[in-house]
Amino acid sequence: MSLTLPGRLAAVLPEGRVLPDDVWYRRHRIVLTVAAVQAVALGLLALALGEGVMAATLEAAAVAYPLAFALLPGVGRQLRSAATTISLLTASVLLVYLMEGQTEAHFHFFVVIGLVSLYQEWGPFGIALLVVVAHHGVLGTLVPHSVFGHDAAHEDPWVWAGIHAFFVLAASLAHLAAWRLNEQQGLRDPLTGLANRTLLMETTDRMLARTSGEVSMLFLDLDDFKDVNDSRGHAAGDVLLTSIARRLSGCLRPGDQVARIGGDEFAVVVAGGQKSATAIGQRMLVALADPVIIEGRPLVPHVSIGAAGTATAGERDAGVLLRNADLAMYMAKALGKNRLVHYADGMAQAAEEKARLLEDLGGAVAGGQLRVHYQPTIGLADGSTTGYEALLRWQYPERGLIPPAEFIPLAEEGGLIVEIGRWVLEQAARQAVAWSAEAGRPIGMAVNLSPTQLADDDVVAIVQRVLDLTGLPARQLTLEVTEGVLVRDVDLVADQLQALRRLGVRIAIDDFGTGYSSLSYLRRLPADIIKIDRSFVQDLDTGGSSTTLVASIIELARSLHLEVVAEGVETAQQRDVLGELACSHAQGYLFGRPQPAAEPAVVPESAAVLAPAPLVSR
Ligand code: C2E
Ligand code: CA
Ligand code: CA
């Protein structure tokens, strides 16, 4: 889109955007007061200059009557501002008339232009310019002495009207510049210099009004930006945001606009449908894939993008586009982040359902709807039960048992996970104490800890309190963290794990092999156990490449003196392969499904029959 002359002019001139109501009315009240005071002052001036009471009253009324519109309730802003503008200009005309065209009286017009520019609307401004030219030209021709105070003007009123109009225009330009700067200040994000939400919405409104073609919106949300702020500090966060803003701007075509609409949220309005939106969204994902170097350390900013267009919006409305794109962005997050997802029908319902579920989850703990199931861990050497893993379920009144994969991410998002996690921990610890007492030997208990729980400052205190409360010896408790926590700041995580370990509890790295971490991370992490992810274990009987991987994980664990648990063992063949690879522990449906504590399969008698080996503790 190359800019034509009118286009270029439009880019320089103020946009004439509407001031927020409260600001507008504040300014309007000032202008209104000035106009009212002038009506009175001019009446008095007329009297002082020797005019009759009748004439003076009429003149005051001529200035005051437009104000009547401005005072009527229910009148729109345009009519109000037009009315005060006309009142002010009538005052100018009358003043010039009363002063018999004296040049100094014309200064009044300049003041009026300044006052009227407070509205930041083209209407009053246009009226002012028009009146100056008409007054000087027309009245100047008809009754020159009431307009101009010198002979030259009396002879060529239009020339002098032009000269006055020129100066009025020049004064106006100064006001226009101030006006434009005001607009920019209120419409830009101070940190990145990008448009803000208000400007984006206005641009979108204009695009929607100007064409009948498709318009699309992209909604971008940085993945895990909070971690950057928490671990690297806010200054680093700002550097990252500025750098991202620059990269995003580089992905646009002329006419598109990118805005920063929240802490780590950006939005882009794009002319065109799904194809254009996809092209730009993909370009942005690529542009962000390069690491940003902050204080000498690289950081790869990932972003989740939602896209929505007018074709799927139902109505051509900027707010609807942004909301749909936002919903699609949430879907992108749910599907694993760092991707682009297009809005589709049903996402709004899905989001509503999710919100309802989250609301219900809030009451689930108090309402006694949460259950803990227990799955045994087996020592492969003798098939004994060495302990249990606590796995959470939600007994939802209408839907039955909801698996944790469906509601734990929700609890994380909604900030409920810390409370729920504490509850699970307490239940599991109590159960372990009870089983240990019944079995007459220590029964180990493993509890899952989500990344948010681990990041919580209070986690160490919470674990300590639960141990104190239940009397569970610390060495009987294992806390499982997924490899996923490592994408956060490794040093921070390591410190937190170290503090937990000082309590005497053991740390297991869950789902090992699936995450982003390399084996070398393991050396830096204070861990006692690694749990080989189910996906590798289930590949074992097909003789796939997993066998080599599992063998090397076991080897590595041995060299680091870590215990290994193979997850998701379902067949005897998988168990045998693991035995050959000298894997020490296993868990899976083959040995026992997760079950409530009261179920016969996991009552203490059977645990005792299995005569488990003593817990390995280091
Ligand atoms: P996880 O920690 O990896 O738990 C193991 C999952 O594998 C469990 O799913 C278990 O039921 C399932 N499983 C066990 N053996 C087998 C098998 O032989 N075959 C198959 N196909 N699956 C098996 P579940 O209970 O649905 O839990 C899913 C995930 O939810 C857990 O994965 C864990 O990450 C999370 N989770 C569960 N309870 C809690 C909790 O209390 N707090 C937190 N933060 N997360 C939890
Ligand atoms: Ca686990
Ligand atoms: Ca696992």
CATH number at residue 276: 3.30.70.270
Which one, of 492, 527, 493, 487, lies nearest residue 510 by Cα? 527
- 22 pLDDT above the threshold of 70: yes
User: Which atom from ligand 1 is nearest to the alpha carbon of 392?
Assistant: 38
In a domain, residue 287? The reply is yes
In a domain, residue 437? The reply is yes
- 274 pLDDT above the threshold of 70: yes
What percentage of the chain has pLDDT greater than the value 90? 52
DSSP conformational letter for 611: -
Domain boundary among 345, 376, 406: 345
Q: Are residues 164 and 206 in the same domain?
A: no
Q: Which residues surround ligand 2, an ion (CB under 5 A)?
A: 448, 480, 510
Predicted TM-score (pTM) of this structure: 0.61
- 530 pLDDT above the threshold of 90: yes
Q: Atom 43, ligand 1: which residue's CA is nearest?
A: 448
Q: How far is the CA of 562 from the centre of ligand 3 (A)?
A: 16
Q: How far is the CA of 533 from the centre of ligand 2 (A)?
A: 10
Q: Please give the C-alpha separations between residue 152 and each of 90, 107, 134, 591, in angstroms, as whole numbers.
A: 25, 19, 19, 110
The best mutation among 391, 422, 587, 589 to test binding of ligand 1, ranked by most ligand atoms within 8 Å of the C-beta, falls on: 391
User: Which atom from ligand 1 is nearest to the alpha carbon of 375?
Assistant: 14
- 605 pLDDT above the threshold of 90: no
Rg (CA), the chain: 37
Q: Is the dihedral of CA 412, 414, 419, 424 positive or negative?
A: negative
Q: Are residues 55 and 100 in the same domain?
A: yes
Residue 569: predicted pLDDT? 97
Q: Atom 10, ligand 1: which residue's CA is nearest?
A: 594
3-state secondary structure at position 67: helix
pLDDT tens, residue by residue, 119-138:
888 788 888 888 888 888 88
Q: How far is the CA of 151 from the centre of ligand 3 (A)?
A: 98
Choose the most confident range, by mean pLDDT, from 91-100, 195-204, 369-378.
Answer: 369-378
CATH of the domain at 571: 3.20.20.450
Domain boundary among 159, 183, 207: 183
Region 599-609: mean pLDDT is 42
In a domain, residue 29? The reply is yes
> Which ligand number lies closest to the CA of residue 512?
3
- 140 pLDDT above the threshold of 60: yes
Q: Are residues 171 and 139 in the same domain?
A: yes
Region 497-519: mean pLDDT is 86
User: Which atom from ligand 1 is nearest to the alpha carbon of 567?
Assistant: 15
User: Quick one: pLDDT band at residue 197, thresholds 50, 70, 90?
Assistant: very high
Region 327-349: mean pLDDT is 90
Q: How far is the CA of 545 from the centre of ligand 1 (A)?
A: 24
Q: Are residues 202 and 178 in the same domain?
A: no
In a domain, residue 406? The reply is no
Region 397-414: mean pLDDT is 89
In a domain, residue 252? The reply is yes
Which one, of 533, 532, 535, lies nearest residue 564 by Cα? 532
Contacts of 14 (CB under 8 A, 6+ apart): 120, 176, 179, 180, 183
pLDDT tens, residue by residue, 371-382:
999 999 999 999
Mean pLDDT of the chain: 87
Range scoring the smallest mean pLDDT among 172-176, 263-267, 434-438:
172-176
User: Which atom from ligand 1 is nearest to the alpha carbon of 569?
Assistant: 18
Which one, of 565, 537, 562, lies nearest residue 446 by Cα? 565
With beta carbons less than 8 A apart as the criterion, state whether 340 and 281 touch. yes
In a domain, residue 360? The reply is no
User: Quick one: pLDDT band at residue 616, thresholds 50, 70, 90?
Assistant: very low
Distance CA 91, CA 115 (A): 13
Residue 612: predicted pLDDT? 37
- 343 pLDDT above the threshold of 50: yes
Q: How far is the CA of 408 from the centre of ligand 3 (A)?
A: 14
The best mutation among 374, 413, 425, 448 to test binding of ligand 1, ranked by most ligand atoms within 8 Å of the C-beta, falls on: 448
Q: Atom 37, ligand 1: which residue's CA is nearest?
A: 391
Residue 113: predicted pLDDT? 87
3-state secondary structure at position 176: helix
In a domain, residue 282? The reply is yes
Residue 516: predicted pLDDT? 54
User: Which atom from ligand 1 is nearest to the alpha carbon of 424?
Assistant: 41
- 603 pLDDT above the threshold of 60: no
Q: Are residues 201 and 265 in the same domain?
A: yes
Residue 11: predicted pLDDT? 65
Residue 486: predicted pLDDT? 65
Residue 607: predicted pLDDT? 40
Residue 69: predicted pLDDT? 81
Region 141-152: mean pLDDT is 82
Which one, of 473, 523, 525, 476, lies nearest residue 498 by Cα? 525
User: Quick one: pLDDT band at residue 146, thresholds 50, 70, 90?
Assistant: confident
User: Quick one: pLDDT band at residue 617, thresholds 50, 70, 90?
Assistant: very low
Q: Which residues does ligand 1 sit against, CB inside 6 Å?
A: 375, 391-392, 403-405, 408, 421, 424, 448-450, 480, 510-511, 534, 568-570, 587-589, 594
Domain boundary among 145, 161, 183: 183
The domain containing residue 559 runs over which residues? 368-391+419-609
Residue 518: predicted pLDDT? 59
Residue 18 CA, chain-centre distance (Å), reads: 26
Q: Are residues 441 and 536 in the same domain?
A: yes
Q: Atom 20, ligand 1: which residue's CA is nearest?
A: 568
Contacts of 73 (CB under 8 A, 6+ apart): none
Residue 266, burial from CB neighbour count under 10 angstroms (0-12, 13-18, 19+): buried
Distance CA 94, CA 44 (A): 12
User: Quick one: pLDDT band at residue 610, thresholds 50, 70, 90?
Assistant: very low
Q: How far is the CA of 404 from the centre of ligand 1 (A)?
A: 7
Q: Are residues 236 and 174 in the same domain?
A: no
- 339 pLDDT above the threshold of 90: yes
User: Quick one: pLDDT band at residue 604, thresholds 50, 70, 90?
Assistant: very low
User: Quick one: pLDDT band at residue 15, thresholds 50, 70, 90?
Assistant: low
Q: Are residues 299 and 386 in the same domain?
A: no
Q: Are residues 164 and 41 in the same domain?
A: yes
Total count of domains within the chain: 3
Q: Atom 22, ligand 1: which residue's CA is nearest?
A: 568
Residue 517: predicted pLDDT? 53
User: Quick one: pLDDT band at residue 300, thresholds 50, 70, 90?
Assistant: confident
Distance CA 602, CA 608 (A): 10
User: Which atom from ligand 1 is nearest to the alpha carbon of 590?
Assistant: 18
Q: Are residues 286 and 328 in the same domain?
A: yes
pLDDT tens, residue by residue, 221-247:
999 888 888 878 899 999 999 999 999
Q: How far is the CA of 56 from the centre of ligand 3 (A)?
A: 92
In a domain, residue 401? The reply is no
Residue 447: predicted pLDDT? 98
Q: How far is the CA of 341 from the centre of ligand 3 (A)?
A: 28
User: Which atom from ligand 1 is nearest to the alpha carbon of 404?
Assistant: 30
User: Quick one: pLDDT band at residue 618, thresholds 50, 70, 90?
Assistant: very low
Q: Please give the C-alpha separations between residue 525 and each of 118, 162, 241, 533, 551, in angstroms, as whole numbers.
A: 63, 81, 30, 18, 21
Residue 542: predicted pLDDT? 80
Q: Are residues 160 and 229 in the same domain?
A: no
Range scoring the smallest mean pLDDT among 156-170, 322-336, 338-352, 413-427:
156-170
Is 22 or 482 the better-scoring residue by pLDDT?
Answer: 482
Q: Name the phi and psi angles at 564, rounded to 5.
A: -120, 135
pLDDT tens, residue by residue, 99-112:
888 888 888 988 89
Range scoring the smallest mean pLDDT among 127-141, 174-188, 303-317:
174-188
Residue 228: predicted pLDDT? 83
Q: How far is the CA of 392 from the centre of ligand 2 (A)?
A: 10
User: Which atom from ligand 1 is nearest to the alpha carbon of 417?
Assistant: 44
Q: Are residues 251 and 325 in the same domain?
A: yes
